[in-house]
Structure 1
Amino acid sequence: MQEFDVNVHHTKMRALLLLKQTRSVAEYKREFTQLVYQLLLYEPTVSDTFLVMRFTLGLKEELRAAVDMQLPITVSEATPYALIQEEIVQRARSNRSFTTRTAFFKTDTRPSTPPAAELWKARKLKEYRRTNGLCFSCGDKYTPGHTCVKPPTPTAVMAMTSAAEAILSDYILDAVEEQETSLQEMHLSVNALSGADHPRTIRLRALIGNQVVLILLDSGSTHSFMDSALLPRIQVTPQQLSKEISVTVANGEKLLCNSEVPQLNWWIQGHTFEYDFKVLDLGGYDLILGMDWLEAQGEMTCH
């Protein structure tokens, strides 16, 4: 009988160690709890530390990092974090799927985007005409009620022998405006928002005061961001931006940013760094160091 109990004990322990999430977090938690109850019949002294580590390691990779960074001490504490992260990932996938379907079924009747060199010329010409009070389209002096004498052409930009003779069509002006807007936009990668832990991501732990923070080095994000949930932990009050900024996530989702924390200091491996961070509801990481910070550090080589 004792030998039978030992075999069952080993079987339940092995099943718990090999358990992986394959469906929803709720179903994984149910399977995990059943195995824990069965194991406790043979080993009542199993520690909460072991159980929460085993629970976290069994989560899907896209959920694990976000739960692990919260340093939960019990399975009951880790479960809500996993459920929240699961919802974030599912929402990101849903938005990406909708964007893909829309792009597939939508017929684009607009002409193709003008070459970059042509757009650059048009943008410079538009800036010149704006500075000198000229009509963007025809180049004549602009006054209230102005009507272009020269008819618009279907071509993007005519031969630009001089700033006064070139004609910019409505299409090219729209393309220039779209390009100007995109150059000013901020972008955020899906990894930064979801907290997914991939082999090629670079994650760092740092200190701000007495608080441990998780940082993602992210070349897929144009700027550096801070999770709004970090503010009360480090007791910092953000500054309001003069104008609300739109941040585009790689999955097509749009986030709005209206505050920043300038000159934030953090300590890591004996070095102190300082930088400005825009504040967003990230949910995955405490800080995102984007291309603006990476470029300021000079040339980097990754192996």
Structure 2
Amino acid sequence: MHSLLAHHSSWDPLFFTTHFIDGLHSEIKVAVMLHRPKDLDTAVALAELQEEAVEMVRQEQESQVTARGLTSMARAGRFSARPSLPVTVASSSNGLKGAPTSPGTPAPDGRRSPDSARIAIGVPSVDDKLKTLRAYRRARGLCFTCGERWGQGHTCAATVPLHVVEELVGMLTVPASPESAASQDNSEEEDLCLLSTAATSGTESPRAFRMLGTLQGKSLLMLVDSGSSHSFINSEIAKDWPEVQAMSKPLRVRVADGAVTVCNTEVPGCEYHIQGHVFQSTLKLFPLRSYDMILGMDWLESRGLMNIDWGAKSMIFQHQGQFIQLQGVSADAHKCPSISTVQLQLLQAQEAVFALVQLCSVKPEGDSSSIPAVVQELLAEFSELFEEPRGLPPHRSFDHAIDLLPGAIPVNIRPYRYSPAQKDEIEAQVADMLAQGIIQISRSPFSS
């Protein structure tokens, strides 16, 4: 480390400490990180102590295994090539009691015990951590109880320091096994629905597939969305339907912004029409802002093999024994055809009008406030007072100055960044003051 620092003094010593700790074995790394060493020498000393403690524990365990194995073989009157540790089991599924099992052998019901799972993944036990802590405190001359410096006549304080509590919490905390974490993640994903950005925001992308359909005589705007896991219907439309049922197990819905809400109602076997064809789906009730219905991945998977033309907004698939073609709709923002009052009333009767907006051209009006004549005469009389200043002010009888302290040196700071808007404004003001002669170009190596 010192050889490298001689060539590159800008490197942080903590860089070598963290890289050294990352290269240690897991059983040594945990104990070293528990003490948060601030330099490389302390980290090396802690690693050596932990390595010695682990080796002592391993030798002690091997001696215990050998002694117990020889004892069991002597009682049985025979020798085996590999001794095992007999463990008495209270009961089993086949009614046998006292069946010996070893730590590496699965339980009778096929499940692994917590101890065997921790041994398999190499997680140190609480006893190992306690022995490591005692070895570290013995080497440092610290009290086993309070962690403070041990000496003649030492008395533990009434209050425990915070770092001692953190050490105990770190030792007694048993990490969750990967199997339990994976099972928990799988259970959470099972009841989680997804709703894409297009379904929530209503933005029209080139690949958005929208269709018009009817449900109970009402025209609906539907979105075929592969980013949504289930099919949804706007809760404002179906909240008063008698077909709405409460779900036996509520589902959580995660929208595009990361928020998670609960969906607990649905319409099973809801029948709707799309371009003359009848479909049935189970629709979840959810407050949709831009669409009336979302046809998600469950609807697409039920259709089977299909041919989709995203450019022409067309899809072909087999439905009820025959191939059908559904044509999507796309908004043309370049055209805005006018409609009559009768057409508007018909659209309103079909509840196909989302909003009615009237656009009117507005001409900017001039400033209505006029300056009174008395004020104008006053401004004209003292016009030199209201002119923009040019250059430095004239010399007065007393010129102001900022006196520095004796021995003061210029401030040297590193360059810092501005936002583009602030940078443009600063450059404009500096250029204006340079043109007026208020400031001059600085050639000093310092920034003050």
TM-score, normalising length: structure 1: 0.45
- The higher radius of gyration belongs to 2
TM-score, normalising length: structure 2: 0.31
Higher relative contact order (CA 8 A, sep 6+): 1
Kindly indicate which of the two structures has a greater share of residues assigned to helix. 1
